[in-house]
Amino acid sequence: MRNDEVLIKVEGVSKKFCKSLKRSLWYGLGDIFRSVLGIKNPEILRKDEFWAVKDVSFEVRRGECLGLIGHNGAGKSTLLKMLNGLIRPDEGRIEMRGKVGALIELGAGFNPVLTGRENVYNNGAILGFSKAEIDYKFDDIVNFAEMEEFVDMPVQNYSSGMKVRLGFAIAAQLEPDVLILDEVLAVGDSDFRVKCFNHIYKVISKSAVVFVSHSIPQLTRICDKLGLLEKGNLLKYGNGVGDIIFYYTKALKQEKHTKTNEIQNILIKKFWIKETDNPVGKELTFGKSYFIQFELDLCGKAIYNDLKILITVNDATENNVLQLIENIEFTSGKLNLYKFEFQNANFNAGRYFITASILEGDKGKFLSVQRNITFFDVKNYLPGYASVFLIPHKITHEIKK
Ligand SMILES: Nc1ncnc2c1ncn2[C@@H]1O[C@H](COP(=O)(O)OP(=O)(O)OP(=O)(O)O)[C@@H](O)[C@H]1O
């Protein structure tokens, strides 16, 4: 077993689908007929057909984890299904070496009328394991899934989370050479997800992993390579995880993060986040200094005491990245301007959205909340990309006698 051998090789793979069921049946019949006669199927798209995956090439070595990212319908699951042999590509070649464990669609691969126990043996056999090998691993699988009580119940009565638990436990505990994981993992509860990720870390060193997720923190945590799919095309691919995330989040449609003004007793009139050296654009460079500036105006005649500003930064997938709360002085009847200055933009690459709120008093009564008041992009030149925010720090080093 070589440490860096290529376990997945995908060369020019394409898959087309047809939007019309009736036509797709006709085309299917025609294709079968042609293949019996040894005639090549048409390479051009017929009416209602489209490329779900188009001319995709990549490889994954043992010890590598490739993350696939892309908008809904980009072709990620179709690609995984081709890797797992559930569907055949129309063009190109896929070479898989060793045993392949996969968790693709919820419940896919399970026979619903069979019990969990029977499904473990069925799936293990499909993966190429002997009965003795599955016997040896059976308790580990059931313990990992925490399904001891339900292992003799038909899978059709399992909850979504239970199916994911058992599916992941089978795919991962049998230690396949290739592990394919679709985002179904997200269905499991947070305890189980943590357990899965701990297990994936262990598996990665010995396997080639392909992982689909919409969660940027998840992808950046475990993947050393990313592939960005858009309308079936592999738009970006490689080890530059930060650059690919930056490209992807920058392309996110802005309307998903429309500005909302929920409470409006006091008005945040203007809000800027700018790089000190570039006060024009909305782009910060990792490590460079930047500032946040905003104006407050009073609506009505009320007098406010003990005001605070709360600034929350969310990444493009709605994860709360950080929060800043600060007391502010306020003079009624005037436009008040505030400026925060920061030494280093320690955010990793991507697009971020700011929610700004004004609070009053010890109990923090919200006077104004403006969601997605603005956004900013961060360019990252760091070689790695593992977290959303890097903590500024000072390191000391001494050599002891
Ligand atoms: N069996 C099928 N017949 C026809 N069209 C299909 C079939 N399976 C998938 N598609 C279409 O292929 C395209 C790619 O779908 P796919 O499920 O691979 O996307 P995805 O990137 O996994 O999306 P999501 O993030 O929503 O899971 C979509 O337009 C989908 O409607």
Decide which of 45 and 12 is more confident: 12
**For residue 382, pLDDT beyond 90:** no
Lowest mean pLDDT among 57-61, 209-213, 329-333, 335-339: 329-333
CB-based contacts of 293, cutoff 8 Å, min separation 6 = 270, 271, 272, 274, 337, 338, 339, 340
Complex confidence, ipTM: 0.97
The fraction of the chain above a pLDDT of 70, given in percent, is 90
Model confidence at 384, in pLDDT bands (50, 70, 90)? low
Cβ atoms < 10 Å from Cβ of 50: 12
Give yes or no for a contact between 112 and 122, defined as CB atoms under 8 angstroms apart: no
Lowest mean pLDDT among 10-19, 96-105, 384-393: 384-393
Q: Which of 210, 356, 214 is nearest to 273 (CA)?
A: 356
Model confidence at 263, in pLDDT bands (50, 70, 90)? low
Whole-number Å distance, alpha carbon 75 to ligand 1 midpoint, is 6
* Start-end of H helices in 223-326: 241-250
The fraction of the chain above a pLDDT of 90, given in percent, is 32
Give yes or no for a contact between 205 and 63, defined as CB atoms under 8 angstroms apart: yes
Whole-number Å distance, alpha carbon 106 to ligand 1 midpoint, is 15
Cα-flanking dihedrals φ and ψ of residue 190, to 5°? -65, -35
Print burial letters for 287-303: b (CB count within 10 Å at least 16), e (below 16). Answer: ebebebebebebeeeee
Q: Which of 17, 222, 187, 7 is nearest to 103 (CA)?
A: 187
**For residue 316, pLDDT beyond 60:** yes
* Most ligand 1 atoms within 8 A of CB, residue of 25, 50, 78, 88 to mutate: 78
Most confident among 8-12, 111-115, 246-250, 296-300 (mean pLDDT): 8-12
Q: How far apart are CA 165 and CA 183, in angstroms?
A: 13
The average pLDDT across 271-291 equals 88
Strand (E) or helix (H) holding 17: strand 6-18
Give the position, in ligand 1's atom list, of the atom nearest the Cα of 70.
Answer: 21
- Give pLDDT, residue 261: 65
Decide which of 361 and 8 is more confident: 8
Whole-number Å distance, alpha carbon 41 to ligand 1 midpoint, is 22
CA 386 → CA 162, 186, 221, 223, 241, distances in Å?
Answer: 30, 19, 5, 9, 9
Whole-number Å distance, alpha carbon 74 to ligand 1 midpoint, is 7
CA 32 → CA 37, 42, 396, distances in Å?
Answer: 9, 12, 70
Domains of the chain and any CATH numbers: 254-379 (2.70.50.60)
Whole-number Å distance, alpha carbon 164 to ligand 1 midpoint, is 20
* Most ligand 1 atoms within 8 A of CB, residue of 23, 48, 77, 88 to mutate: 77
Q: Which of 353, 247, 255, 334 is nearest to 295 (CA)?
A: 334
pLDDT digits (tens, 9 = 90+) for 176-221: 899 898 887 677 787 888 888 888 888 888 899 999 988 877 787 7
Burial class of residue 279 in the structure, from the number of CB atoms within 10 Å of its CB (0-12 exposed, 13-18 middle, 19+ buried): exposed
Model confidence at 7, in pLDDT bands (50, 70, 90)? very high
CA 136 → CA 115, 130, 174, 318, distances in Å?
Answer: 19, 10, 10, 42
Decide which of 125 and 304 is more confident: 125
Give yes or no for a contact between 284 and 343, defined as CB atoms under 8 angstroms apart: no
Protein residues with CB under 6 Å of any ligand 1 atom: 17, 52, 70, 72-78
